[in-house]
Structure 1
Amino acid sequence: MADRARTVWNGAAELGEGPVWDTRDAALWFVDIKRPAVHRVDPADGAHRSWPAPAQIGWVLPAEGGGFLAGLQTGLAHFDPATGAFTHLCAVEPDRPGNRLNDATVGPDGVVWFGSMDDAARAATGQVHRWDGAQATVTGIAPVTITNGPAVSPDGSTLYHVDTLGGAIHAVPVTGHGTTGAGRVLVTIDPADGTPDGVSTDAAGNIWLGMWGGWSARCYDPAGTLLREVRLPAAQVTKIAFGGADLRTAFATTARLGLDPAALAAQPEAGAVFAFDVDVPGRPLPLARLRR
């Protein structure tokens, strides 16, 4: 399949992240963490809307009962696009004010898995958490400085999470009652190629990875074998989401963060959202559990 990327939105996000396709309105939703906002783009006509967020925002996920579950630096919240309101649900890591939430996904059962990180990217204080619709709990996964992902296998049996500074994708079994077993390193990234960012899984269980500083998105099979690499017009690729009518369009968020004037001149579309075609479709994302 030809690796031709097209621009969906060129709004120069400082730190574009958390792309998610919402089947309810056939649109792509994503966030800008550092210029805190929620964005919506309709790829059919390019229509764009945005809503300011009250704190750094790592992600929004379509939720049961309407609206979205949002991961803010201040904790989890319900986001209502009709009013723009964020309603606080629970604090996460209130004892670590230097941390923020970074990335998330929804498992087949509606459980949300999400990670935190040291906002200064120095201390190993980032944890992987689980939200069951009522409360957030810390998993037994060892803390790292920057968590990314997680992503869940189609059958819900494996959680993939990224240690960005450690340059690795880890595979962790999901056991009874949403607990996690002993993990293993699935993929190690050569620093010369960039650093691993967000991960997503497609319908076949392949793992798609955004390559920060790598100008690309990569696809690995569940055994960790590289299947495909798609080059993009921006260096800081953060995460992939699958959308469109048949879920065979991959959308990639990118960032301008950390780029000097020369780098920005060399990549005028840094911070844009790009799309390319995939032969294996994604999976409809389950609605996040939300008991209010």
Structure 2
Amino acid sequence: MARVRTIARDRRDTLGEGVLWSARENAVYWVDILGQRLNRLSLADDSVDGWDMPDVLGWVIEREERQGFVAGLGRRFVRLTLDPLTVETIAAPEDERHGNRFNDAKADARGRIWAGSMPFGCDQPSGSLYRLDTDGRATRVEDGYTIPNGPAIPPEGGFLLQTDTARNTIYRYTVRDDGTLADRTHFIVFEDGWGHPDGMTFDAENFLWVACWGGSCVARFAPDGQLDRRIALPASQITNCAFAGEGLDRMFVTSASDGIDEAEGGCLFEVDPGCRGLPPYRYRG
């Protein structure tokens, strides 16, 4: 049985998400979307600190050439710095969709960001998938999502996996050279008893790790989409996972406490994945 550790701290997340490994700081960042907060765990001493945000915060991604982050804040792409907190809008592609917010995102090997938006009510397909190019231009590349999660993008960048949690489906897209998407297929459709697919990431063996909302676990899938194994966790609403540490052999997993009464719902967990991960890409703009 894989080792699971609950990170000690003085609060739980309403909707933990967006876990990110920062090699620069030897730290793990993650967000509490509905709690409007950015958290940071130092791997040097296990200390946890955080920053309150002016709006719901879906994710943060480090910048390649500069300190600070690009973030999904409310319905905007923003540049975000800490200590002091500053927020600068890059693009606002969802201004007309007042009931939406950003939910999850990843950078790819070209330094672009792929980010999904969704309705606050999780009840209609008003969400989209966007590509934020390095020049700051945001393009809607797919529409009709209800709860977009991920994506997961392999180092070679030839395809992209994107989840719609509401449909229990992880889709696979071909990524063209110009950044458009094509050839959408159903890569993994979750079976009864698995929970619902949420955030995800690849490991160094090209296996896919998926956080299972309602499934109390993270699950590992082979490159052909077959279920390989699961790691059980002491909370039901598991939301995201990422590899961290100098050897990228530690996995940190977020969860949510919203709407449930569980002792460890909303906690951050560390699990022993038994494999190594891949370093996260940074935004090159």
The two structures have a TM-score, normalised by structure 2, of: 0.96
Q: Who is 1:212 aligned against?
A: 213
Q: Do the aligned partners of residues 142 and 91 (structure 1) sit closer, same or farther apart at CA in structure 2, a change above 3 Å counting?
A: closer
Which of 262, 280, 283 in structure 2 is aligned with 1:285? 280
Amino acid at match of 1:76: F
CA distance in 2, matches of 1:68, 1:142: 26
1:8 partnered with 2:7 = yes
Q: Who is 2:244 aligned against?
A: 243
Map Cα deviations across residues 176-202 of structure 1 (whole Å, 9 max, x no partner): 111111111111112433111111112
* Comparing 177-186 and 17-26, the one that deviates more: 177-186
Superposition deviation, residue 82 in structure 1:
2.6
1:25-36 matches, within 5 Å, as: 25-36=25-36
1:123-272 matches, within 5 Å, as: 123-133=124-134, 134-139=136-141, 141-259=142-260, 264=261, 267-272=262-267
Q: Give the 3-state SS of the residue equivalent to 1:223 in structure 2.
A: coil
CA distance in 1, matches of 2:220, 2:184: 20
Aligned residues: 282
Amino acid at match of 1:35: G
The two structures have a TM-score, normalised by structure 1, of: 0.93
CA contact (8 A) 2:126 2:143 kept: no
Percent of aligned pairs with the same amino acid: 34
Q: Who is 2:113 aligned against?
A: 112
CA distance in 1, matches of 2:207, 2:258: 28
CA distance in 2, matches of 1:99, 1:106: 21
Q: Who is 1:97 aligned against?
A: 98
Superposition deviation, residue 204 in structure 1:
2.1
Q: Give the 3-state SS of the residue equivalent to 2:21 in structure 1.
A: strand
Structure 2 residue runs of 5 or longer lacking an equivalent are none
CA distance in 2, matches of 1:56, 1:191: 31
CA distance in 2, matches of 1:182, 1:253: 31
Q: Give the 3-state SS of the residue equivalent to 2:258 in structure 1.
A: coil
Q: Give the 3-state SS of the residue equivalent to 1:127 in structure 2.
A: strand
Which contiguous aligned blocks of 4+ residues in structure 1 show a shift greater than 6 angstroms? none
